[in-house]
Structure 1
Amino acid sequence: MSSFDKIRTRIAPSPTGFLHLGTARTALYSWAFARHHGGEFVLRIEDTDVARSTQDSVEQIIAAMNWLGLSYDEGPIYQMQRLDRYTAVIEQLIADGKAYRCYATPEELTEMREAQKARGEKTLYDRRWRPEPGKTLPTPPEGVKPVVRFANPVDGDVTWNDLVKGPITINNREIDDLIIARTDGVPTYNFAVVVDDWDMRISHVFRGDEHVNNTPWQINIFNALGAPLPCFGHLPIILGDDGLKLSKRRGAVSVMDYAANGYLPEAMLNYLARLGWSHGDDELFSAEQMVSWFDGTHLSKSPAQWDPAKLDWVNGHYVKHLDEARIAELAVAQLAAKGIAATVPEVQPKVSLFKDRCPTVVALADWLAMYFAPVSPSAEDLATHVTEAVRPALAALADRLAVLTDWNKAAIQQALKETLATSGLKMPQLAVPVRVIVCGRAQTPSLDAVLEQFDQKKVLDRLQSR
């Protein structure tokens, strides 16, 4: 760390889609590490894939970061606004003999690779346009726009002590002369990321396992530029419940999909943190606790398994303990998404009845909907529970409820007891049909508490409609 006066980390998503779960975990670790050490966290948008990058993706990424509470100290910084800087660095590398223009056509490169395969060799660029002492280069062909390649060292090893995997060594003979600028002058990922990390004084880079093979090229470019090397930590992949890697291309849902589906940001952070990192046996902890603990150690080398049931358990814990005013606001938003109008004052008194049994706010809104929208009991429930034998008791209960001047649990409970006494029914024989008719479902929390939260007239209208 002698090359850096402050710990600085970054997250650098490509705006070719949403912020998916693996990138969110990387962002969390980078953010927590910076915050733990009193450093800074940078958001960079790697938008050099012009054909696939969209402003909508940028907005979704920023929305996801904000929802998760991963505040950044700088950014968003866009690579496409830094083209002049990349061009200047490339020209300097060419002038220093550390990069060169390559005029090989796609057809020539295909022919080269096929010949290498036929000889049983690894398919690497043969450096045909690389200037070397005593080598005569051909005349650049007319009408062919060159790429720029980095003159990678031809011998020796690249070694780094990975923050997650430990020491890693890759021989330079395993890698070739990387293209660092396309024919249109736009830099490639492995070059732009080095210049960015250098300019932005990034001290620690956390990223996914798939970047291990990029790291030797990047280290060699850092060295060619005389730039200080950050510490690299390559995080293991996250596997879906099918055992395959979660990815955009395999339909992994975005962070904001989880927000829309009633998950809480504090629960998502808690769950993501445990997918590759641990602090003893702690399963439930706040973002503040994670920051205090996350020093870059205790990172797993093994792939993590995405477990929807475990996420529901974690989220259910946070739903259960969330301030009722806040959860009422979230529930109102979920009801609105269903086309159901409700207000926070209407919802808040009802929340405590249901939140303990809800893994998500969507599940809570499903319970609360019966108070604000018509219910549709299933034909099976109606046939099973609302029988001719119980209809007289339902009518008698409706009559007793209609004359109540105090609409509260005690009065409702007394009406239920009186109806049971005169009808000879047991509580389940009366309570379940009432639930089906009034609530649209056969099971609810305590019936008197549930009915108390209804408007008295609505209960009577529903009972009398059946």
Structure 2
Amino acid sequence: MNLSLTRIAPTPSGYLHLGNAYSFLVTKALAEKHGAKILLRIDDLDRERYRTEYVEDIFETLDFLEIKIDLGPRNLQEFEAEWSQIHRVGKYQDALSTLRQDLKVFACDCSRKKIQQLDSSGYYLGQCIDRRFSLDKPEVAWRMDTMEADYVKFTEYPDLPKKALIPQDSAFYVVRKRDGLPAYHLTSVIDDLHFGVDLIVRGSDLYSSTLAQLDLARHLGEAGFEKIIFHHHPLVKGPKQEKLSKSDGVTSIQSLRKEGKTLKDIKAMVGLEG
């Protein structure tokens, strides 16, 4: 297997936790195994939750975990000046224009509360397709019409061919948010293609995201995205088997470091001794 570039792609919306550390360390291990380089890509388009202290925490955590970054920013100043997603907004807008021209998207003004009211599952089931709002209407999100979505194919690490349909929790996924900014699925696809990533390591909770992004890349005519290898690792759970959250300061790497925990301690806590 010939892999050249993987990535670590945190969001500066809180202090990184044990789950992030586990994912980063798994990424490092696979990169070392295959001689691949590591890109640091910080996903910072959620400007409401963006804080410079969270960006600083990313660099501090990578240093603490002894993870060497081969491509990407080395500090906050470099990140904001050269590597922020803000500098790639033009690429995202080009992709949105392609989707619009090909009539792949529809406008939706549903809030999370309204979606919950429309269906108790909490899943969005395409209720706005027939409402035919203008895509230029204020405060609308752009969603992909997945009514006739076909199987997507990909390779699960190391070499397992897979195909799957987009599940309900990712159907009609958002590509442009209600504030007009490109959404996560679109920016992630465009960035991975832009930098030439060929190995994506992410938690099993993002499996549905992988399927949505493969579908999106196909609509954008980016066949190369299907050639990326994906590794969906198990999640690190909390004491009550809950998914870890950045809002839970107890499991943050920052707080654990302040308690005197070492890298060896962190590896033991996430089951990566040795």
Per-residue Cα deviation, 1:317-367 (whole angstroms, up to 9, x for no partner): xxxxxxxxxxxxxxxxxxxxxxxxxxxxxxxxxxxxxxxxxxxxxxxxxxx
Amino acid at match of 1:128: I
Aligned equivalent of 2:109, options 105, 112, 136 = 105
1:84 aligned partner:
90
2:247 aligned partner:
249
| Structure 1 residues 165 and 126: CA distance shift in structure 2, 3 A | farther
Amino acid at match of 1:231: I
> Alignment identity in percent?
25
CA contact (8 A) 1:203 1:231 kept: yes
CA contact (8 A) 2:158 2:229 kept: no
| Structure 1 residues 226 and 153: CA distance shift in structure 2, 3 A | farther
CA contact (8 A) 1:87 1:185 kept: no
| Structure 1 residues 172 and 15: CA distance shift in structure 2, 3 A | closer
The CA deviation at 1:225 is: 2.3
1:47 aligned partner:
44
Structure holding more helix per residue: 1
The CA deviation at 1:261 is: 2.4
1:156 aligned partner:
150
Aligned equivalent of 2:12, options 15, 18, 31 = 15
1:60 aligned partner:
57
Per-residue Cα deviation, 1:53-73 (whole angstroms, up to 9, x for no partner): 100100011111112211111
2:172 aligned partner:
177
| Structure 1 residues 144 and 30: CA distance shift in structure 2, 3 A | same
CA contact (8 A) 2:38 2:70 kept: yes
1:128 aligned partner:
129
The CA deviation at 1:27 is: 1.1
TM-score (norm 2): 0.80
Provide the rounded CA distance (Å) in 2 between the counterparts of 1:33 and 1:255.
22
TM-score (norm 1): 0.49
1:298 aligned partner:
none
2:65 paired with 1:71: no
Amino acid at match of 2:216: I
Of structures 1 and 2, the one with the larger relative CO (CA 8 A, separation 6+) is 2
| Structure 1 residues 164 and 274: CA distance shift in structure 2, 3 A | farther
Q: How does 1:12-411 map to 2 (within 5 A)?
A: 12-76=9-73, 77-97=83-103, 99-102=104-107, 104-106=108-110, 110=114, 114=117, 123-126=124-127, 128=129, 140=134, 144-152=138-146, 154-163=148-157, 169-172=163-166, 174=168, 175-227=170-222, 228=224, 229=226, 230-265=228-263, 267-268=264-265, 270-271=267-268, 274-275=271-272, 283-284=273-274
Provide the rounded CA distance (Å) in 1 between the counterparts of 2:122 and 2:259.
51
CA contact (8 A) 2:45 2:86 kept: yes
Provide the rounded CA distance (Å) in 1 between the counterparts of 2:260 and 2:149.
54
| Structure 1 residues 8 and 86: CA distance shift in structure 2, 3 A | same
SS where residue 47 of structure 2 aligns?
Answer: coil
The CA deviation at 1:140 is: 3.6
CA contact (8 A) 2:143 2:176 kept: yes
Amino acid at match of 2:238: G
Unaligned segments of structure 1, at least 5 residues: 130-136, 276-282, 285-466
Aligned-residue RMSD, C-alpha: 3.3
Which protein is bigger by CA-based radius of gyration?
A: 1
Provide the rounded CA distance (Å) in 2 between the counterparts of 1:39 and 1:29.
13
Per-residue Cα deviation, 1:278-311 (whole angstroms, up to 9, x for no partner): xxxxx53xxxxxxxxxxxxxxxxxxxxxxxxxxx
The CA deviation at 1:149 is: 2.3
| Structure 1 residues 123 and 84: CA distance shift in structure 2, 3 A | closer
CA contact (8 A) 2:153 2:162 kept: yes
CA contact (8 A) 1:164 1:235 kept: no
The CA deviation at 1:251 is: 3.6
SS where residue 220 of structure 1 aligns?
Answer: helix
The CA deviation at 1:143 is: 5.9
CA contact (8 A) 1:164 1:234 kept: no
Unaligned segments of structure 2, at least 5 residues: 74-82
Per-residue Cα deviation, 1:210-237 (whole angstroms, up to 9, x for no partner): 1012121111012222321221111111
| Structure 1 residues 70 and 144: CA distance shift in structure 2, 3 A | same
SS where residue 26 of structure 1 aligns?
Answer: helix
Amino acid at match of 2:176: A
CA contact (8 A) 1:155 1:173 kept: no
Amino acid at match of 1:40: K
Amino acid at match of 2:138: V
| Structure 1 residues 237 and 140: CA distance shift in structure 2, 3 A | closer
The CA deviation at 1:92 is: 1.9
CA contact (8 A) 2:124 2:171 kept: no
